[in-house]
Structure 1
């Protein structure tokens, strides 16, 4: 029998998705135009923010900069991908420019990286269907959470690395307010881990709408366990 005590809980866990990237914008334009290819090349990790994404990051900075000290994040962990690093840098700069105390400097953690797509990196869904029809069929057969592209990760693989991150955060930052800067796949799989959502529950979340760029999802630990306080909030963004 495992007699170990459960890990201590953190006071608050917040995760933000990065602002709109140049690839996000290009994929949307390709889909709207009915084009298979987006024109995006290079490494996914090197994709930068679009101009809209930069404005969204500033909106995040205004949101966090306006918080009272007792509600501000005390620890920030960030994906190593450029679009996530840029998001927090711009957010911190915006909060500082507004005259508030500095937000925490981020610590990079590779476990917060986006889902690795392997040979299918930076391909639109239409491009995968056209160029790799067998993979598109396999995804349909096994389901989106279990499908692992060649050389890449399934969403359950993402959850596995996030589980170790959560264990470390609880051990190292018990009682603290922790902010993660990451990606849509990370937000979804954190709901699976933190709330114990089943895969059918997660499928319902996905059907209800994508995780928005620069959105905020937050759990509070007031009851001794993390409870969802807000999901996919974008009220701080320009135009909202």
Structure 2
């Protein structure tokens, strides 16, 4: 992201990637009671499912109806394939002539030794980690080799600091992951751990959903305009999908 003097962004549009092949595999593993999620690639390389491509295209089509004054000036995305593909499909379907930039700080939370394990798999194969996770809760629990939510929040703080430096009162669209969007809420709204976990425990960030923040002057606090909206999919006859992470978020 370029760092220039002047007012910061006036609008921040947060998009979760479309349904991924990993989402599908995780849901299948959970329903079958499996211990291991049979993902088709390493996490960074997992692509969208066919439905995920439809969702990303539908989102881009809905954005194509925005007047030029409301279109984003820059699109940033996680380097993970499911987010990059979503960003590319959105930009193409919307017909935008904008920069598409990859920022590794927007990547999904790294799960370390828990990677590819279902909740049941963690309980059976790593019982000590399961107990530690229950004790600490999702906000502070860091699996060996992985990240806690607070770790992700630290890199997002760096991202938001850069966002304050862009010039021209720009509108910025970010394509990322469910945990990233929830942690943006934590940072932008100044939430407590409990407030964040209450939101996470009662909401699943929908695939290809939109969360929007605004601030008319380009500086100061952000105002949440809308959260987790996916009406654009229903309007175009595209299936909604809810693929959340572990709902047991509290210590």
Q: TM-score, normalised by structure 2?
A: 0.86
Change (3 A) 1:239 1:82: closer
1:167 corresponds to 2:157: no
1:232 corresponds to 2:228: yes
Partner of residue 133, structure 1: 127
1:201 corresponds to 2:195: yes
Instruction: Choose the corresponding residue for 1:182, options 168, 176, 186.
Output: 176
Partners of 1:131 and 1:181 in 2: CA distance? 33
Contiguous gaps of at least 5 residues in structure 1? 1-6, 97-101
Alignment RMSD (CA, Å)? 1.6
Alignment of 1:43-54 (within 5 A): 43-54=42-53
4+ long deviations beyond 6 Å: none
* Deviation larger for 201-210 or 15-24: 201-210
Alignment of 1:47-62 (within 5 A): 47-62=46-61
Shift of 1:37: 2.4
Partners of 2:167 and 2:74 in 1: CA distance? 8
Partner of residue 65, structure 2: 66
Shift of 1:58: 0.6
Partners of 2:221 and 2:168 in 1: CA distance? 11
Q: TM-score, normalised by structure 1?
A: 0.90
Partner of residue 248, structure 2: none
1:82 corresponds to 2:91: no
Contiguous gaps of at least 5 residues in structure 2? 1-5, 241-251
1:218 corresponds to 2:212: yes
Shift of 1:38: 2.3
Partners of 1:15 and 1:173 in 2: CA distance? 20
Shift of 1:162: 0.3
